[in-house]
A and B are shown apart, each in its own frame.
Chain A
């Protein structure tokens, strides 16, 4: 009997899985089920009184707590707003019966596993991190601002030791500078070499808003002269190019344009045929000639090494000697003659020197002139800005009615180009 009712086997409880496997928990389940049932239904009906089970319903909608009261619409809405949303109901436990297993499937995270001492230590900042944060803060505070000028950069430093004095060797100076935290810097001279042209060219007196008559006329004259120069050049160009081609006769235009078109096709064929016949004939003739004349001269004849005779050699030598003697005599004679030509030579030297001097001066002048002209820096040619002017009708004569003319920005841009600061760029259209 005992065996059949509860024969207890000893099961291994080694693994976690086997903990619940062969445990009899029926009584616990029953108990819990009873509890739930009781919760749902309350105590047994038989034990309850009538008053507990039944009530007299006097109002219509008693179950709705909101609708129950006579609320205004706004109040009702506010209440609805404050109510817990229905969607949260699913998250709540639906019984008041507590879960018998309190620690159900408790998995510790890495953080929870840690020892609290270790945690405290961790919360304290590392020295390295501290420095980092401080640095970041200092960067934020000391972040350079573009519009702040609070130092005098040209203030002369009180240098304790003059590194630039002439007593130091160059190497020593370098060494000393390096150890003092400074560096010897070589700045290219071009930084301080500037164009001879002024950055702002003084205005022509005729550009005044209320110019004197003569100044204004002078300005207009100057502009007119420049314009005339341009017109002249244009005319010259058209004369040299367009008009030259105009003069060419166009008699053979038709034949030139119709080249390759088969207008006289038959004729052309005939000529071709004739040509081919002639060629054949000439080749035949050549072959015949070769056959008839056997002694043909080669183009590069063999050289015969013919020796000179002794007499010939002697004569040659004599000739050579004589020639040399004559040459010597000639030189000697020239020397004597040159003495008489001394004055002439002197004049020649003076003349060449004079010419050289003249050329030198000219070159200097050209150089001075070139220094004022813009250099060729890029493939685009620099084109100077035209002088601004107003004609008499445009001049208002009072400050109030002056009209804008020209663009200052453009003028600045051109000025920079003229002073070789920027290379003239391509026009973007």
Chain B
């Protein structure tokens, strides 16, 4: 039976959603304006649970928005600004068509600018929220800072992007917040930690601008994102500078962001890098910069002792990392891409300079004797100083990722570089088999026992030689050993005999004396004050106890989590077993190899002899 009085698509999901066209009609905006508004406000299309119902019976796939979202957009005051824009554009168009250029200029002066401060605040109620969403913002801003003024990218935008990104980099330098750097073929990945939030961003390699084909990326759309992100980054910068007790906006001298920089790409880049080399002005010099050098609270919620220890160790490492390059003086050769290197070195407290004649902003000369490292990316150099190391740029990034100054030997000029490993890859679980060679690469403390092996081999060779020389003696030794073992056995037997004898003696004594006497003696023995004995702790007792407790704790695992727990334990065991197996394989392999080598040598020697 049909349900009379109840029409279809009048309630529920059908009412909750709106197509884009409906939304446009409701907001009385054009498509471009709507796009801009929705992106700036952070309202995105939705996927309904049941598309047919949401589209009132239509099965074609349409772009749907939630009704509440559109209502939220409706209350936005910048809608009025958008409408003003429309009228403004019409006026300008008219003036241009009528060739009333004076009028046009007068209108242009009154260009309605849309303020987005309140939207930034609305989307990110706290500073931490903004930091959490900074990845996208930074990557896009760094990317757009490399763009010239093209059709949909306003020239102001790219200029502002340049300014703000340099400012942000300065904030990172001042805060010493950089943690990881990775050079990929796509660009530089940086990871910083601000207020406990890890922020990752990509900076493209500096190449000439490549025009994007229209079919791949919607430039207009991306520029709207950038429009919002610029504002956001500006406020984040302001806040960062003020928390770091620095003056905002920073001044980098007159040269940067001049008209010339807009024209000459190369000049712009060099000025941008030179800006990184300038120390910033403190807001209030009397106040010392409060680094977060607070100790970890000893009364933490964490019950696991090992975790606290780990956290403390991590902290110490980071503290050490912050002053990694302190006291080191670097000189960057001209063939090295400077921006990333200057940024990383400055982040960890080092001093940098470059060729005075080629680029602006160098602080000291190449002839300076106090320079400790010169960064070189060419196979050889004619003039070299003894007082400094000539290293390849990878050394800087690798030592940052390793959190200590790596030995420079592998990174000397013209050397074959060790691989640049990703600091982000999380594949290194605690339970994975690492071949000894790789382990030697990872931590410099661990040493390969190759040398040892070689020594051992030489020793063994010596032995072999000696063996060969005195085969007869060896035979004799073996016989001797056999004799000794026989002797020992005999001794053991002797001891047994002695014991038996003693027992016999006792029994004879007891039979000789009376029973009373025996009791008395016994009692006397009991009354005797004995010297106190230190109670010996069973070494296994403690671990046994712990194991028992652990098992009891295991039983307390909730039924809900039991399966998961079991699978975890199983996995751990499996992995341990796999590691054990691989190690064993390796050991066997090594041994066989060794044996083979020895045999080969023997054979050679025999040939030589013959």
Mark A residues whose CB is within 8 Å of B: 143-147, 149-154, 185-188, 190-191, 198-200, 202-205, 207-213, 215, 375-379, 388-390, 397-400, 402-413, 416, 420-423, 425, 427-429
State which of B64, B113, B156 has its C-beta within 8 Å of the C-beta of A144. Answer: B113
Given contacts A147-B234, A207-B422, A211-B420, 10 further A-B contacts (CB under 8 A): A147-B160, A149-B235, A154-B235, A154-B239, A191-B122, A203-B424, A205-B424, A378-B61, A409-B217, A428-B215
A403 to B163 CA separation, bound complex (whole angstroms):
27
> What are 11 A-B residue pairs whose CB atoms fall within 8 Å in the complex?
A146-B230, A149-B234, A151-B238, A152-B235, A154-B239, A191-B123, A210-B417, A213-B419, A398-B377, A407-B212, A427-B215
Does B496 lie at the interface of the complex (its beta carbon under 8 Å from any beta carbon of A)?
A: no
**A154 and chain B: residue at smallest CB distance:** B127
* Pairwise interchain contact B204-A408, C-beta atoms closer than 8 A: yes
A190 to B43 CA separation, bound complex (whole angstroms):
8
Set of chain B residues within 8 Å of A209, measured between Cβ atoms: 183-185, 420
Does B210 lie at the interface of the complex (its beta carbon under 8 Å from any beta carbon of A)?
A: yes
Set of chain A residues within 8 Å of B425, measured between Cβ atoms: 202, 204-205, 215
State which of A190, A202, A405 has its C-beta within 8 Å of the C-beta of B424. Answer: A202
Set of chain A residues within 8 Å of B336, measured between Cβ atoms: 399-400
A253 to B146 CA separation, bound complex (whole angstroms):
63
Set of chain B residues within 8 Å of A420, measured between Cβ atoms: 44-45, 47
* Pairwise interchain contact A205-B421, C-beta atoms closer than 8 A: yes
Shortest C-beta distance, B136 to chain A (Å), equals 5
Shortest C-beta distance, B93 to chain A (Å), equals 22
A428 to B216 CA separation, bound complex (whole angstroms):
8
Shortest C-beta distance, A407 to chain B (Å), equals 7
Does B72 lie at the interface of the complex (its beta carbon under 8 Å from any beta carbon of A)?
A: yes
A198 to B201 CA separation, bound complex (whole angstroms):
12
Q: A147-B160, A399-B394, A400-B377 are in contact. Are A208 and B72 (CB under 8 A)?
A: no
A186 to B135 CA separation, bound complex (whole angstroms):
27
* Pairwise interchain contact B235-A153, C-beta atoms closer than 8 A: yes
* Pairwise interchain contact A413-B156, C-beta atoms closer than 8 A: no
* Pairwise interchain contact A422-B44, C-beta atoms closer than 8 A: yes
* Pairwise interchain contact A404-B156, C-beta atoms closer than 8 A: no
Q: Which of B216-273 contact A (CB under 8 A)?
A: 216-218, 221-222, 225, 230-231, 234-235, 237-239, 242, 248-249
B 122-134 binary contact with A (CB < 8 Å = 1; else 0): 1110110010010
What's the count of A-B pairs with C-beta under 8 Å? 209
A425 to B422 CA separation, bound complex (whole angstroms):
34
* Pairwise interchain contact B126-A200, C-beta atoms closer than 8 A: no
A143 to B109 CA separation, bound complex (whole angstroms):
11
Q: A190-B43, A420-B44 are in contact. Are A147 and B163 (CB under 8 A)?
A: yes
Does B152 lie at the interface of the complex (its beta carbon under 8 Å from any beta carbon of A)?
A: no
A204 to B427 CA separation, bound complex (whole angstroms):
11
A265 to B377 CA separation, bound complex (whole angstroms):
89
Set of chain A residues within 8 Å of B424, measured between Cβ atoms: 202-203, 205
* Pairwise interchain contact A199-B183, C-beta atoms closer than 8 A: no
Shortest C-beta distance, A240 to chain B (Å), equals 25
A258 to B499 CA separation, bound complex (whole angstroms):
121
* Pairwise interchain contact B392-A398, C-beta atoms closer than 8 A: yes
State which of B121, B189, B393, B417 has its C-beta within 8 Å of the C-beta of A154. Answer: B121
State which of A198, A207, A213, A423 has its C-beta within 8 Å of the C-beta of B185. Answer: A207
A413 to B426 CA separation, bound complex (whole angstroms):
26
State which of B43, B156, B183, B225 has its C-beta within 8 Å of the C-beta of A208. Answer: B183
Does B596 lie at the interface of the complex (its beta carbon under 8 Å from any beta carbon of A)?
A: no
Mark B residues whose CB is within 8 Å of A: 39, 42-47, 51, 60-64, 66, 68-69, 72, 75, 113, 115, 117, 120-124, 126-127, 130, 133, 135-136, 139-140, 143, 156, 160, 163, 182-187, 189, 200-202, 204-205, 207, 210, 212, 214-218, 221-222, 225, 230-231, 234-235, 237-239, 242, 248-249, 335-337, 377-378, 392-394, 417, 419-422, 424-427
* Pairwise interchain contact B421-A379, C-beta atoms closer than 8 A: no
State which of A144, A199, A204, A399 has its C-beta within 8 Å of the C-beta of B135. Answer: A199
Set of chain A residues within 8 Å of B63, measured between Cβ atoms: 377-378, 423
* Pairwise interchain contact A200-B419, C-beta atoms closer than 8 A: no
* Pairwise interchain contact B214-A188, C-beta atoms closer than 8 A: no
Most A Cβ at <10 Å: residue of B113, B127, B419, B421: B419
A403 to B216 CA separation, bound complex (whole angstroms):
21
A83 to B275 CA separation, bound complex (whole angstroms):
62
Shortest C-beta distance, A372 to chain B (Å), equals 14
A408 to B140 CA separation, bound complex (whole angstroms):
9
* Pairwise interchain contact A188-B238, C-beta atoms closer than 8 A: no
A411 to B238 CA separation, bound complex (whole angstroms):
29
**B224 and chain A: residue at smallest CB distance:** A422
A286 to B111 CA separation, bound complex (whole angstroms):
93
A423 to B43 CA separation, bound complex (whole angstroms):
12
State which of A151, A203, A397 has its C-beta within 8 Å of the C-beta of B184. Answer: A203
Most A Cβ at <10 Å: residue of B69, B127, B216, B230: B216
**B214 and chain A: residue at smallest CB distance:** A428
**A411 and chain B: residue at smallest CB distance:** B186
A153 to B139 CA separation, bound complex (whole angstroms):
23
A159 to B148 CA separation, bound complex (whole angstroms):
45
* Pairwise interchain contact B183-A399, C-beta atoms closer than 8 A: yes
* Pairwise interchain contact A412-B222, C-beta atoms closer than 8 A: yes
Q: A152-B238, A154-B126, A203-B182 are in contact. Are A379 and B60 (CB under 8 A)?
A: yes
**B146 and chain A: residue at smallest CB distance:** A408
A397 to B379 CA separation, bound complex (whole angstroms):
12
**B69 and chain A: residue at smallest CB distance:** A188
State which of B124, B186, B210, B217 has its C-beta within 8 Å of the C-beta of A388. Answer: B186
Q: A190-B69, A215-B422 are in contact. Are A402 and B185 (CB under 8 A)?
A: yes
* Pairwise interchain contact B222-A413, C-beta atoms closer than 8 A: yes
Set of chain A residues within 8 Å of B205, measured between Cβ atoms: 402, 404
Set of chain A residues within 8 Å of B39, measured between Cβ atoms: 422
Set of chain B residues within 8 Å of A379, measured between Cβ atoms: 60-62
* Pairwise interchain contact A388-B212, C-beta atoms closer than 8 A: no
**B134 and chain A: residue at smallest CB distance:** A199
Shortest C-beta distance, B124 to chain A (Å), equals 8
Q: A153-B235, A215-B421 are in contact. Are A208 and B184 (CB under 8 A)?
A: yes
* Pairwise interchain contact A212-B47, C-beta atoms closer than 8 A: no
Shortest C-beta distance, A18 to chain B (Å), equals 51
* Pairwise interchain contact B421-A208, C-beta atoms closer than 8 A: yes
A402 to B231 CA separation, bound complex (whole angstroms):
33
Q: A208-B422, A398-B377, A400-B337 are in contact. Are A377 and B47 (CB under 8 A)?
A: yes
Set of chain A residues within 8 Å of B135, measured between Cβ atoms: 198-200
Set of chain B residues within 8 Å of A397, measured between Cβ atoms: 417
**A399 and chain B: residue at smallest CB distance:** B393
